[in-house]
Amino acid sequence: MKIIDIRETVVPIQSDLRNAFIDFSLMTVSVAALVTDVVRDGKRVVGFGFNSNGRYAQQGLLRERFIPRLKEAGPETLLNEEGSNFDPSKIWDCMMKNEKPGGHGDRSVAVGIIDMAVWDMVAKIEEKPLYRHLADTYRGGQCDEKVSVYAAGGYYYPGKDLKALQNEMRSYLDRGYTTVKMKIGGESLDDDRRRIEAVLEIVGEGRSLAVDANGRFDLKTAVAYAEALAPYDLHWYEEAGDPLDYALQAELARHYEEPMATGENLFSTQDARNLIRYGGMRPGVDILQFDCALSYGLVEYLRTLDMAAEHGWSARSFIPHGGHQLSLNIAGGLGLGGSESYPDVFKPFNGFADSVAVEDGYVRFPDLPGLGIEDKAALKDVLKELSET
């Protein structure tokens, strides 16, 4: 049993939106394929992975460091003890050989791309949907057959007015979502008050609306927003300040009793631990949004879940960033609180299986081995290109 080839390509995402920090029209995504000599259902097993949004494709680091290390490894060193499947932890250790501690950015994305492909490959060899494989491996088979998802949107576009924002949010409800998320911090608090109230006219109550500042605010602004947001009783107030400014987050918790959410820009268990140690996050109230695809993959995410449990955090407090099928499978298989969804943005990497509709705020899994990535017609060409021999 071995990986006979590792391939990757770079795909632009189709977008003309911006948030507080970046212009997504320039974003790119690396897609990787692990081609094995294992045959299931008459076909060679190929595992696929890609990077989550907000960070760039990682072809450089993949080609220079992580793919060569895997190619140079003895195939038997990457297998589980029984030799019956690949061992994601051993593959992870192989990729991270000769990497120093600290400096968790970019390489965490590159490793995350390969790690996603590893789990897709492993579940395909087991002939199970990934969420079932995870439940069987880590939770005695206990899993959630449907996962709570929310529609992330509400971005700033040039010329987008309140009407357009309302239409966007209405379309999410029409597609089965019950909770939506919008950006704040683009212009002014007064502007955001108007935008929030416009969206509340559509979604009904504050608990159905989360707001996301994308790390833009200093403490004073974050607190001013906290005071303005509190009466709306929102689903959550997300990433007010710089992701590493734990003191800001901790101080903000003294001004805002409602749920807050953060973590999408922390890319290692060590960084996640610092948020939990110093950020004043409240178990049972606040939400942890670490995105495994940006932060060394599920092998590292398992360590993060264990670390958080030691600090009194339930997996239900984890609702990952990213809107990809790895986070969705983890949510179902490991009992997280839900997963993000991008119904309209980051195409073609947004959304879940084509065959599965969102119903009453939940989504189910397609009956496919692995991540379920083959049930996305928009990715068909790129997957085909990478898996052809």
Chosen residue from 131, 150, 155, 246 binding a second copy by CB under 8 A: 246
Active-site residue, selected from the candidate residues 104, 124, 183, 376: 183
183 is catalytic: yes
Q: Pick the stretch among 104-112, 117-125, 142-150, 317-325 that binds a second copy (CB under 8 A).
A: 104-112
What is the number of other CB atoms lying within 10 angstroms of the CB of residue 193?
15
Examine residue 103 and tell whether it contacts a second copy (CB under 8 A): yes
Q: How far apart are CA 179 and CA 165, in angstroms?
A: 15
Piece in contact with a second copy (CB under 8 A), picked from 37-45, 55-63, 324-332, 360-368: 55-63
**What type of residue sits at position 135?**
A
Binding positions for a second copy, 58-87, rule CB under 8 A: 58-61, 63-65
Sorted by sequence, the CB contacts under 8 Å of residue 20 that are 6+ apart come out as 183, 185, 186, 213, 214, 215, 216
Among 23, 187, 201, 367, binds a second copy (CB under 8 A): 23
Segments of the chain assigned E as strands: 3-12, 28-40, 43-50, 146-152, 180-183, 209-212, 236-238, 260-262, 287-288, 339-341, 362-364
Minimum CB separation from a second copy for residue 83, in Å? 28
- In sequence order, which residues have a C-beta less than 8 Å from that of residue 59 and are 6 or more positions away? 8, 10, 30
In angstroms, the CA 289 to CA 322 distance is 9
Q: Compare residues 46 and 114 and give the one whose CB is closer to a second copy.
A: 114
The nearest distance, CB 307 to a second copy, in angstroms, is 12
- In eight-state DSSP terms, residue 82 is T
| Span interacting with a second copy, options 84-92, 185-193, 266-274, 363-371, rule CB under 8 A | 266-274
Which of 13, 32, 34, 57 binds a second copy (CB under 8 A)? It is 57
Q: Does 278 bind a second copy (CB under 8 A)?
A: yes
Residue 311 in contact with a second copy, rule: CB under 8 A: no
**Residue 138 near a second copy by CB under 8 A:** no
Question: Least distance from C-beta 311 to a second copy, angstroms?
Answer: 12
Catalytic: 321?
yes
Alpha-helix residue ranges (DSSP H) falling in 144-287: 162-174, 189-203, 219-229, 246-253, 269-278
Closest approach, Cβ 107 to a second copy, in A, equals 5
Cα 329 to Cα 143: distance, rounded to the nearest angstrom: 10
Distance CA 105, CA 268 (A): 9
State which residue, 170 or 273, has the beta carbon closest to a second copy. 273
Bridge pairing between strands 28-40 and 3-12: antiparallel
Is residue 212 within the footprint of a second copy (CB under 8 A)?
A: no
Residues present in the chain in total: 389
Both tokens assigned to 261: 């959410």
Tell which one of 39, 247, 285, 378 touches a second copy (CB under 8 A).
247
Please select the residue that binds a second copy; options are 5, 136, 242, 251, rule is CB under 8 A. Answer: 242
Binding footprint of a second copy on the chain (CB under 8 A): 21-23, 26, 54-61, 63-65, 98-109, 214-215, 242-247, 265-268, 270-271, 273-274, 277-278, 294
User: Which of the residues are catalytic?
Assistant: 183, 321
